[in-house]
Every structure is written in C-alpha cells, then in structure tokens.
Structure 1
Amino acid sequence: MPLIYLKNKHNGITYVYESENYWDKTKKQSRSRRICIGKLDPLSGELIPSRRLATPSVKPGPVSATESKRLFAGATWLLSAIGEKLGITADLKQCFPKQYKQLLSIAYYLILEDHNPLIRFSKWAMTHQHPYGKDIPSQRSSDFFASITEEARERFFRLQGKRRAEQEYWAYDTTSLSSYSEGLRQVKYGMNKEHDPLPQMNLALLFGEQSNLPFYYRKLPGNISDVQTVKNLLADMDFFSYKKIKLVMDRGFYSEANINAMYQHHLKFLIGAKVTLKYVQAELMAAKPELQKWENFDPDHNLYAYSKTITWKYTQQRPYKGDVLEEERRAYLHLYFNKEKETEDASRLNRLLTKLKTELESGKRDPAHEKSYAKYFEVTTTPKRGTVVKPKQEAIDAAIRNYGYFALLSNEIKDPIEALDVYRNKDLIEKAFGNLKERLNFRRMEVSSERSLDGKLFVEFVALIFLSYIKKVMQDKKLFQRYTMQGLLDELDVIECYERSGHDLRFGEITKRQLEIYEALEIAPPTSL
C-alpha cells in the first residue's frame, strides 16, 4: 500500500499513513481509508512505528510452544544471530513491521537450500524452525513479493548504509540477469557479460570493501552501458544522504563526464583508466624508463609500479549562470607494468591475428570481427591473385606497445601499491554476483510481473548480505580449509530443537565440532532453558 506523509501544523510532527483504496457500494465511487503506522523521527527521518504495531518486548531465548514439533534449527539459529548482529533484523522490522518475518524466512530458505526453487519452500518450512514459523505457498509468495514497496526498500538502504564504515571504499559494478519473460519493461537485449543469448536486465551493486557487505542495489534496463549508470548512482547517494563516499570502479565506468561528476559531488574515487587515453599515453611514454627500474618493482605483486601527480582539467556546466566552470583539480595517475601480462597479451594477439587472417583468406568472415579485420589487415582481391591479406604493421606495433601496462586514476590514494590493493579487492563484488546467480538461483529470472521481480530481488539482496558475512568470516578464520559454505551450513542444520505444548523450546545435543563453528563465526550457540 502507498504511504502518505502529513505534517501536523500544531506540533510539527510528520505522521505516516498507509492508504488503501476501496469501492463504496453505497455512494458508488472510489474511496480511500488511511491507517496511521507511525511518525518520522525529526533528526534521522526514520519511521517510528505506532505503539499498537510494535511487537511487545519478550525475554530473549526460547519461548513456550503451542504445539509439539521436532524441527531442525541449528543453521537458522546462526542466521538469526547474524541478523541481530548486523542490524538486518532491526532494520527490516522498522521498514516492514508486518512482513519482516516472512521476508527473513524466505531469505533463510534461499541461503540454506542451495539451488532449490522457491516452490519447495513448503517442504522446508515443515522441517525447520524459522522466523515466520508457517508455510508460505507459492501463490502467496508471489503476492508477498508484490507487496514490498519502493518506499520501504529505500528506508532499508538508508538504514543499512549508515551502519557501514564511512572511511571504506565502496566497490561499484554491474552484472546482467537473463530472463525468459517478454513482459518485463527493463528486460532488453544488450551486451550480456556472460554471452547468454537471452534478453536481460542489468543489476548495479554497491559493496563495502572492508565490511565485505552489500548495502545498495539498483536494477537497470538491459541495454544500458556501465558508463551511463554513474550519474544516477551519484543522485542516489545524495538521496540517501550517504557521507564521505569513496568509490572504486573498473574502467568500464570511465568517462570524462563521470570523473567531473565525482569531483563535483566531492567524492573520493579510484577508477581504472585505459592506457590508450591521450593524457595517459603521454604520461606513460615519459615514465617508461623510470617505471621499469628495479627500485619500482614490487615482489609481492610481481610488477613494476609508478605514480605521477597530474592536473585534471575540471569542467562543470552551470545552467543557472549560463556558463561552463573550468578549473584544475589534483589527481594521481598510477602506472603499472607486468612482464607476464605482456607475454600473455602478445600471445593472445598472435592467436587473434592468425584466426583473422585464416577467416579472410577462406572467405568465411565473422561479422563480429569486422572491426578487427579493418584495424589489422588490408584486403585486396584480384582476378589473377585472388584474395590477398596484408597486415597493417603500424596498428600491430601500436597494440604491442601497450602490452603489459595498465593504469589507475585516483583523487585520494597517492601510493600505487595501496591503490592496486584497493582496486583488486573489488573482485569481491564479482564473487557476490556469483553468489546471487549461482547459490541464490537468480541467474535467470522466473517472474512475470514488475512488482514481483522488485520484491524477489530485494529478498535475494537481503540473503546476499547474510552470505557475504558468512563468507568473509570463513575466509578470515580459514574455515574454507575444512568446509565449503554449504558443508558448514549443513553441519549446523542437523541440530534439532523440540517444541512441546506448554513447555519452553529445547535444543538437542550439540557436538564439539558444531560448537567450534559457532565460536569461529563469533555466534553464541543455541541453549535451552
């Protein structure tokens, strides 16, 4: 239901109402009814639920059951404890006071039942203890997804963003999600990053590099390129009032307009830059003799690294003044050379040139290679000699000249190795996309309506926060040497709890190995009263 915000003129308090439309049979016209669900905090702007909607405080720990059951509870206990620790449960409860338990239960299912479709939730719910405690049939889950509002999602993003460390860099990237549906408005044919022939929707994700936790996403039309998304990202950052923002992005997001926009918004950034850019090429040619000196070699990364302070020519269109502001900004250009990468790049080019030449001489041209044909070869055809393919050596030499080199641009990080470590750490976002597509079974969307898609995607995102936390702790504690993630969750999932009418919840025996897992994950094991 849509939310309505009304400010009381007498006390200055903004009250929040849920508005519901209905048909008045007597007056034969459409009417609406409003229910007050709370008020806005004057300082934070967050919703303070009405007392009648607030869940009564209860003593922590097991509670009395109303019927006798034996359920698996060790893994769901872990997820509930993580939800409390990260503030996920509290934020969901504030944003979805009537729905958060259903949302958490579906998220738990997606995490614990690897690759299983949601239609099997009923079977899982019968054997596991979970927040909602009841079945959510397939049709009801679709209705539930459609009931998740944009306003509530935005409040959750704002709350989660405030829990992240402001000093950390935020990795930003996009991925493509394929779909069989032709009814979704943002599903379009575009540059599919996984070469899937289906139409797609793109998903942008923002990820904390120190916390290793996602806290914002946005879906995009499938035919939108990465470089076009940055402007809206910056607008969203302003909307959510995120402060001291630091972004790290790959070179797919690089453009002069985007760099100027980040300067204009006073953001710190680290971004990949193509070495073929005119100013990068000029600095690289001048720095090559210095760059490949032994003193600039870093043995830990097996490459040469060199930094140069440069002047960025900043421009800003000012429609309100009818002019263009032109100023100079300081930036740091980091240049790198990797001998192994140079060899790999040269080998790849040789294989490509051989393939292109064979295609041209045989007459079996590939339409996808037309630009490469024109770039690297001159093709002539005569009645006597047939097709003659001659390489353009100047173009080949120009390509070889840059092999093994790459560049990063920042307006904050001065040290090239520090910049490289921060940039490479953004790979965690690729792993998060892998979790979303593979483990959470969202590689190909199987929803038919926009509202169901929005709701399901949000639940998948919540599940991704839990998975990201577990993965980070497992890496920090070296648990991957002994378990896969599924193996660790399965180890805890066999712990049973017993619900008997009129008695408190009681947990079964917990092995030493299971206790060690809880301890490593910094979660107190379940106990019985």
Structure 2
Amino acid sequence: MYYNCLVNIPKNTGKISRNKRGKTTYIEYTYAREYLPEKKYNVARRTTIGKADPDHPGMMFPNPNFEKFFPDIEIPAEGTAAEPVNESRSSCIRIGAFSVVRRIIEDYKLAEHLKRWDDRGKGLLLDLAAYSVIAESNVAQHFPDYAYNHPLMTPQNKIYSDSTISRFIREIDDNDRVDFLNSWNATHDKNEKIYVSYDSTNKNCKAGDIEMAEYGHPKNDVGAPIINYSIAYDMTNEKPLLYESYPGSIVDVSQLKYMLEKIRGYGYKKIGFILDRGYFSKANIQFMDSCDYDFVMMVKGRASFVHGLIMEHMGEFESKRACSIKAYRTYGMTVKAKLYADDDTDRYFHIYYKAKKQASERARLEADLDRMEAEMDKIKGREYKLPKRYEHYFKLTYHKDKFYGYEEREDVIERELQLCGYFAIVTSEKMTASEALNLYKSRDISEKLFGSDKT
C-alpha cells in the first residue's frame, strides 16, 4: 500500500537503490548486509520503501516501510490516513486461496442470493467474505492491504477504503439478512433427511452502548456485556443453513424454540438436530416432538435422570470388544428408556465409557474438592455464605450467619467418582452407540468455526 502523497527520495549513498519493473521504478532500502561464509561475500537485505513518481523526478510515493526506516522525515498531512492509490496494484497478485473461495461462491451461486445490491455492493460484500476467510481477519482498516495484492470481485477490481467499508456495513439491516437467508434456504430440498448441528456462542463487547450487548451467562465471564449468535449447519450436505444473533441475556435453552420455529417456517420436514447439553430441557424435547423432528443430544453422565441408567448397566460393556468404538477409543452400549416420568415415547440412551476421560475427570473432581476445603478452612468463624455447589459435596455448619465447619457427603462424592469417565447421548431415532457418537462428534465443525472467529 502506497500513501497518496509525495516525499523526496532519500539521498543515502550505498543504501538507496532503484529497481525498475515494467513501467514502475521501486525505491529500495538496504537495511542489512549478511556475510555468507560458503560464498565468501556479503548479500544485501533490501525492502521496498516507495515507488518513484515519473512526473516529479527525485520524488516518490512512500509506503509504511518508509516510516519505519525514516521516522524523522515527516509525511505530508494528506498522506497520514494511509489511503491507497486506487489504480495502484501490487506487481505480484496472490491468486491461489482466492481462486478456491471464488469457486465456492460460484458453485453456491451466492451472488444470486444478494438480490438487493448492485454489482458494486455484491462485489464488495463477497470481497469482504473472501478477505475474512483468507486473511483470517474482519478488521476493515486492513482490507486495503489485502486488496492491494489479491484479485477482487468489485467492478474493475476497485479498492475501497476502510471508511467506505464501514459505511457500507452500517447500511446492511435485518431485512437484508432475512432476505438472504430466505433466498438461500429456498434452494434446498425440503424432503431430504438431514441432520443439523446447532450451536451458539457469545462475544464480549467493549464497543460502548450497543443495544444487543447485555450481561448474561457466558462460560468465561470477564464482567463485560455480551452478544450471542448461533449457527445451524447441515451435516448431511456440509453447508450452513442459517445464523442468528440475539441479546446476551437470553440463555441457549430458551433460544432453541425460536430457531426450531424458524426452521419449520422454511419448510424443512425430515430433519434431526445435533445439540449439546446446554439445550436440554423438557420443553425443548416436547417442542421437537410436536414438530416431528429427531434429535441427538449430549447429557451429563452425572445428571440425575441418566446416572441411574449408567449405574444399572455399569460393568456390562466397558471391556467388551463388541462394544468398542475404535475411532474414539471409547466403549458404548444402547438401552431404551423414558426421558422423563410422563414421557410417552421410548428414547435411545447411548451410554459410553472412556478410560482416559475417567482419569482426567477424577483428577479434576479431587482438585475441586481440595480447593473447596482450602477455601472453607480460610473462612471458618467468619460471616460468609458459601455457594450452593459447596452444599452439594459438604454438610455445612452455620451459627448466627457465621460459618463454623463442614463434613464431606461421602455418598455423593463416591457416586460421582464412580461416574467419572461415563457420558451419555440421547437420540429419538433408533441407531447404534457408534452411529450416535459419530453424529455428535460431527458438530465439531461449528465449534472450530466459533474458535476461528474468536481468534
């Protein structure tokens, strides 16, 4: 990227050189010399600091490297915004990753689903999508750097400034998103049996007063307001179906119903959902039943409604080779049972045991207990109300609001130690333990997507 202003070419004999490529002369600066023993001579290490202006001899358009090596030379005010010269392009265009992204855009006919925009708007939006994938960044001010040495989908490969991009993004509203998702989902076969991985995540917000940013219940609470967003991903055809954002105070378990209604509104009929334990509730199960949707859902091995099943079948499958799921070094079996007391449908409980998981969970539980005991020893004799989690593992003694002592609930701790290494998946559709685990593990795609987005 070159600044849209002129400076004098430094007169630094021995360190400034000119490199003419085509009709452009690049000004290079020798910042080091390296001696090569095997060659027995020095090799110059150079970098480009600008390009000569043919209309003004002795002048050049500087780039950020010029500021680095000549910090004492002031760049004219009109160049401090680092606006790229639109007609300026790198002499070497990086086309590899871009070609892949463009082929995906063409195969899925994404431009046809952007009905509101003209060619400029479609091109810029798709360029921003390609930029976020290739550069693994969504910082608008860095887009001109990317555009300088990559092909673009805007007419005439025009490079737009970060201020133009910011204005363009602000103009995108909820109606545009809804229109795109409606158009995108209208092309899918509604009668095909598919499994959809649905998951959500949150982002901390430090941008000030934003209406959607509210205090909620994130896994890692740093005391900041958050926004939530979720993605439904078609695992059968390996492509996303929809995304949605919602305020930070809304919990995952209540948001699922709105997403299911949206899916039903698109007309999908033969569909199953792959969900993590955060979405488990009786209301959600009943609503999926009413929609005639299948589900694959993880449940905690220590959850009250499933630990009885695990204890009942403990010892029946943990060492049987017929129950081995080799891909995950896990053993599993399937049993039919009701999910809750008044459930009128049999569900399929897939119970699993993993030795490596048992060791790590036992160590974590023991460490938690030691930490809680150390904390309670510190506050003996003081006015202090311990969280409910402590009451689960210990009998706590208080007198006039002062904490005086504790005693382990041995039966609770021993039961949880026994359950370490076990977990369960519930499915509405009949399948083997191996098939259920493979389906659930496939949702790793959305986890990786969230991880990539956050980093």
The two structures share one fold, judged by TM-score above 0.5: yes
How far residue 368 of structure 1 moved from its aligned partner, in angstroms, is 11
TM-score (norm 1): 0.61
The equivalent of 2:334 in structure 1 is 307
The reply on whether 1:395 has 2:412 as its aligned counterpart is yes
The reply on whether 1:421 has 2:438 as its aligned counterpart is yes
How far residue 432 of structure 1 moved from its aligned partner, in angstroms, is 0.5
The equivalent of 1:378 in structure 2 is 395
Alignment of 1:129-168 (within 5 A): 129-132=151-154, 133-162=157-186, 166-168=192-194
Change (3 A) 1:372 1:84: same
Change (3 A) 1:96 1:243: farther
Change (3 A) 1:408 1:68: closer
State the alpha-carbon separation in 2 of the partners of residues 281 and 126 from structure 1.
59
Which residue identity is paired with 2:370? T
State the alpha-carbon separation in 1 of the partners of residues 261 and 335 from structure 2.
31
The equivalent of 1:88 in structure 2 is 110
Alignment of 1:316-395 (within 5 A): 328-363=344-379, 370-380=387-397, 387-395=404-412
- Say which structure, 1 or 2, has more relative contact order (CA 8 Å, 6+ apart): 1
TM-score (norm 2): 0.71
Change (3 A) 1:116 1:243: closer
The equivalent of 1:450 in structure 2 is none
SS of the residue corresponding to residue 169 of structure 1 reads: strand
Q: 1:125 aligns with which of 144, 147, 151?
A: 147
How far residue 336 of structure 1 moved from its aligned partner, in angstroms, is 1.2
State the alpha-carbon separation in 2 of the partners of residues 299 and 76 from structure 1.
38
Q: Deviations over 1:340-359 (max 9, x none)?
A: 22222221111111111111
Which residue identity is paired with 2:134? L
**Kept after mapping to 2: 8 A contact 1:247/1:267:** yes
The equivalent of 1:459 in structure 2 is none
Q: 2:205 aligns with which of 175, 179, 189?
A: 179
**Kept after mapping to 2: 8 A contact 1:331/1:411:** yes
Q: Deviations over 1:358-387 (max 9, x none)?
A: 11112299x9962232222234489xxx95
Structure number with bigger Rg: 2
Q: Deviations over 1:172-213 (max 9, x none)?
A: 111111111332111012222344332110111111224443
**Kept after mapping to 1: 8 A contact 2:323/2:331:** yes
State the alpha-carbon separation in 1 of the partners of residues 436 and 112 from structure 2.
35
Change (3 A) 1:233 1:368: farther
* C-alpha RMSD over aligned residues: 3.0
**Kept after mapping to 2: 8 A contact 1:304/1:337:** yes
**Kept after mapping to 1: 8 A contact 2:194/2:270:** no
**Kept after mapping to 1: 8 A contact 2:131/2:137:** no
Matched pairs, number: 357
Report the more deviating stretch, 219-228 or 388-397.
388-397
State the alpha-carbon separation in 2 of the partners of residues 170 and 248 from structure 1.
6
SS of the residue corresponding to residue 262 of structure 2 reads: helix
Structure 1 unaligned regions, length at least 5? 1-66, 316-326, 439-529
Change (3 A) 1:314 1:329: farther
Structure 2 unaligned regions, length at least 5? 1-86
Change (3 A) 1:333 1:100: same
Alignment of 1:97-112 (within 5 A): 97=118, 99-112=121-134
How far residue 254 of structure 1 moved from its aligned partner, in angstroms, is 0.4
The reply on whether 1:188 has 2:214 as its aligned counterpart is yes
Which residue identity is paired with 1:420? L
State the alpha-carbon separation in 1 of the partners of residues 385 and 103 from structure 2.
51
Q: 1:218 aligns with which of 241, 244, 259?
A: 244
Q: 2:230 aligns with which of 185, 204, 212?
A: 204
How far residue 77 of structure 1 moved from its aligned partner, in angstroms, is 3.2
**Kept after mapping to 1: 8 A contact 2:200/2:229:** yes
Which residue identity is paired with 1:302? R
Report the more deviating stretch, 191-200 or 175-184.
191-200
State the alpha-carbon separation in 2 of the partners of residues 299 and 250 from structure 1.
22
Change (3 A) 1:138 1:306: same
How far residue 422 of structure 1 moved from its aligned partner, in angstroms, is 0.7
